[in-house]
């Protein structure tokens, strides 16, 4: 008895009401009506249950959490309190921490005035817990609840956020740390560092900003002229949205979070970029950083002065504190001429002005090719069974962003079969960079020259600089591939990756619409 929760049953009627489809026939017909074609594996399908069973060890420890999304006042420091939406009244939401192989059981309650879901970013979890509305679950209506339960198989730094609308650009995010029971522990203490761009409650509301972008307006025109202070600026257009503030762990730079340390200590920082529209250039004054993990997975350690971290990426770095003092940890909003700041304090001293720009910011910067997956997590050599090109486009009239020429719902799902090795070739035809994310899997980036790069779930794709990734399709279900700029995502920059099977679905599976609709409706539905 493995104690795997049975696949939940869903009401077809309620789903169709949500999706706005007129009849079941409509949904199924869109998958190809010959009846001979391979069928998408439903989110609640037998393959999904079997994959979870394989992950779950008998006697696995179950960790219970309760998560409440609700309107709240966030104290950003310096007397600034803003109205927003968050988890458990905290910003960021309280960290969830488990050990690899343990089961996360989170009772979620939605006290927001809008329907929402939770997505567990980066975790290879069972498909029906992935939080994509209309695809892996129904939205959680206001006052509704949902019980998330899944095995967390791989250690690492992850996070959680909603997968509906622009909820992520409010205060709805929290770290999810999966400890490694075999962690060599070559550090004295660790801190989680969450970066964010902030407008909710002080500047333009996220939904209004998106309306402006769709109407061809937008507050970011001046940024576009500037181009930023750095020659290799990632974000030469300055992003799409103007943010009055940038935060580290919910604090504005004038009232920064402080991390205590002692001279000579080795500190592990788990850096998470929870921003919707902002990549950050990160450096710790007076120190170099040794990068040990990318998106949760270990890399061959590499020491740098600074690094760029795009939306949804995570880097774990180790720093040896070089003296007694006050060291600003800077996160410069790339090409936005503004910053987030925290303080590493190992001695007495005043907090510096946030205008400080330590020289490390212009020192040795982490490059994609510097990152190589640690031996223990490297994909075995192999040739892809299937290669898909994903062309990134759009951003013009109407703020429509596309993958393979069409916005989500109109573009064709990528079909994969369980066990195949898949290669994705990203090609960016736009003038902006896009952090591309795959749900439910950790791919391996292919470095220039073909070498094994880092294992990641989100990778920066710059204009005119193709990026290829490979992974083994070992987690059946229906998964999203999308840009993690929340505004681009809402502009349509998403695609479905659909596991298919030749077997006949059971009647229970047929009765569950989740994972069966090919022309997914936008997750903004509801
Ligand atoms: Cu953080 Cu669909 O992703
Ligand atoms: Cu994008």
Sign, Cα dihedral of 298, 304, 306, 310 = negative
Q: Three-class SS of residue 507?
A: helix
Pocket of ligand 1 (CB under 6 A): 119, 121, 161, 163, 312, 437, 439, 480, 482, 484
User: How large is the greatest C-alpha to C-alpha distance in the chain, in angstroms?
Assistant: 74
Q: Which atom of ligand 1 is nearest to the CA of 121?
A: 1
Ligand approaching nearest to the C-alpha of 234: 2
Q: Three-class SS of residue 516?
A: coil
Q: Which atom of ligand 1 is nearest to the CA of 480?
A: 2
Task: Name the residue among 275, 285, 308, 91 with its Cα closest to residue 195.
Answer: 275
- What percentage of the chain has pLDDT greater than the value 90? 80
pLDDT above 90 (res 184): no
pLDDT tens for residues 267-324? 999 999 999 999 999 999 999 999 999 999 999 999 999 999 999 999 999 999 999 9
Q: Which atom of ligand 1 is nearest to the CA of 122?
A: 1
Going from the Cα of 137 to the center of ligand 2, the distance in angstroms, rounded, reads 25
Q: Which atom of ligand 1 is nearest to the CA of 161?
A: 1
Going from the Cα of 139 to the center of ligand 2, the distance in angstroms, rounded, reads 24
pLDDT tens for residues 453-495? 999 999 999 998 999 999 999 999 999 999 999 999 999 999 9
Tell me the two tokens of residue 502: 């030749």
Tell me the two tokens of residue 113: 């005035």
Q: Which atom of ligand 1 is nearest to the CA of 439?
A: 2
Going from the Cα of 123 to the center of ligand 2, the distance in angstroms, rounded, reads 21
Tell me the two tokens of residue 332: 């410069």
Separation of alpha carbons 446 and 424, rounded Å: 10
Going from the Cα of 400 to the center of ligand 2, the distance in angstroms, rounded, reads 11
* b/e map 270-287, b = 16+ CB within 10 Å: bbbbbbbbbbbbbbbbbb
| β-bridge pairing 266-273 and 189-198 | parallel
Strand locations in 249-405, DSSP E?
258-260, 266-273, 280-284, 289-294, 297-304, 307-309, 314-320, 326-333, 338-345, 386-394, 401-403
Task: Name the residue among 180, 182, 159, 50 with its Cα closest to residue 102.
Answer: 180
| Three-state secondary structure string covering 368-404 | HHHCCECHHHCCCCCCCCEEEEEEEEECCHHHCEEEC
Q: What is the pLDDT of residue 16?
A: 34
Q: Do 81 and 74 meet the contact criterion of CB atoms below 8 Å apart?
A: yes
pTM of the model: 0.91
Ligand approaching nearest to the C-alpha of 158: 1
Task: Name the residue among 471, 417, 418, 424 with its Cα closest to residue 443.
Answer: 471
pLDDT tens for residues 133-142? 999 999 999 9
Which of 230-244, 367-381, 402-416, 424-438 is the least confident region?
230-244
The DSSP element (H or E) to which 489 belongs, if any, is helix 486-490
Going from the Cα of 511 to the center of ligand 2, the distance in angstroms, rounded, reads 35
Q: Three-class SS of residue 176?
A: strand
Q: Whose CA is nearest to atom 3 of ligand 1?
A: 121
pLDDT tens for residues 53-84? 999 999 999 999 999 999 999 999 999 999 99
pLDDT above 70 (res 92): yes
Beta bridge partners of 106: 65, 148
Q: What is the pLDDT of residue 450?
A: 87
Q: Whose CA is nearest to atom 1 of ligand 1?
A: 121
Task: Quickly list DSSP for 23-79.
Answer: -HHHHHHTT-TTS-SPEEPPTTSHHHHHHHHHHPPTT--EEEEEEEEEEEEEE-STT
Rg over CA atoms, the chain: 22
Going from the Cα of 493 to the center of ligand 2, the distance in angstroms, rounded, reads 7
């Amino acid at each position: 008895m493995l104690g795997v929760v049975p696949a939940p049953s869903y009401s077809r009627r309620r789903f169709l009401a949500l999706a706005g489809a007129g009849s079941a026939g409509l949904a199924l017909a869109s998958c190809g009506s010959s009846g001979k074609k391979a069928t998408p594996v439903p989110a609640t399908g037998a393959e999904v249950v079997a994959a979870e069973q394989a992950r779950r060890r008998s006697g696995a420890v179950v960790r219970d959490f309760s998560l409440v999304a609700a309107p709240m006042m966030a104290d950003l420091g310096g007397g600034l309190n803003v109205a927003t939406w968050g988890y458990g009244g905290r910003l960021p939401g309280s960290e969830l921490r488990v050990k690899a192989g343990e089961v996360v059981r989170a009772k979620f309650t939605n006290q927001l005035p809008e329907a929402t879901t939770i997505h567990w970013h980066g975790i290879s979890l069972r498909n029906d817990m992935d939080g994509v509305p209309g695809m892996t679950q129904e939205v959680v209506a206001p006052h509704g609840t949902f019980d998330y339960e899944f095995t967390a198989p791989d250690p690492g730094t992850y996070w959680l956020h909603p997968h509906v609308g622009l909820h992520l650009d409010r205060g709805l995010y929290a770290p999810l740390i999966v400890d490694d029971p075999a962690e060599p522990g070559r550090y004295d203490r660790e801190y989680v560092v969450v970066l964010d761009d902030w407008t909710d409650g002080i500047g333009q509301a996220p939904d209004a900003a998106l309306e402006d972008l769709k109407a061809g307006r937008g507050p970011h025109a001046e940024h576009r002229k500037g181009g930023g202070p750095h020659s290799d600026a990632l974000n030469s257009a300055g992003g799409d949205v103007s943010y009055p503030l940038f935060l580290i762990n919910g604090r504005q730079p004038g009232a920064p979070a402080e991390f205590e340390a002692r001279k000579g200590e080795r500190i592990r920082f788990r850096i998470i970029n929870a921003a919707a529209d902002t990549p950050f250039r990160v450096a710790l004054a007076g120190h170099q950083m040794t990068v040990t993990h990318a998106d949760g997975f270990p890399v061959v350690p590499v020491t740098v002065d600074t690094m760029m971290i795009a939306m949804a990426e995570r880097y774990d770095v180790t720093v040896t504190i070089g003296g007694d003092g006050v060291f600003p940890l800077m996160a410069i909003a790339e090409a936005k001429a503004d910053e987030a700041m925290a303080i590493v304090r190992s001695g007495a001293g005043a907090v510096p002005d946030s205008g400080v720009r330590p020289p490390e910011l212009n020192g040795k910067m982490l490059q994609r090719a510097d990152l190589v997956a640690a031996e223990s997590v490297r994909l075995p050599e192999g040739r892809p069974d299937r290669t898909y090109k994903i062309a990134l486009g759009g951003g013009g009239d109407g703020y429509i962003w596309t993958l393979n020429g069409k916005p989500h719902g109109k573009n064709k799902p990528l079909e994969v079969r369980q066990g195949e090795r898949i290669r994705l070739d990203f090609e960016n035809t736009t003038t902006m960079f896009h952090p591309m994310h795959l749900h439910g899997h950790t791919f391996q980036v292919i470095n220039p020259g073909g070498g094994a790069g880092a294992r990641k779930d989100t990778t920066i794709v710059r204009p005119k600089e193709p990026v290829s990734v490979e992974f083994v399709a070992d987690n059946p279900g229906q998964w999203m591939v999308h840009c993690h700029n929340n505004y681009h995502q809402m502009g349509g920059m998403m695609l479905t990756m659909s596991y298919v099977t030749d077997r006949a679905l059971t009647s229970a599976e047929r009765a569950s619409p989740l994972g069966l609709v090919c022309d997914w409706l936008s997750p903004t539905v509801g």
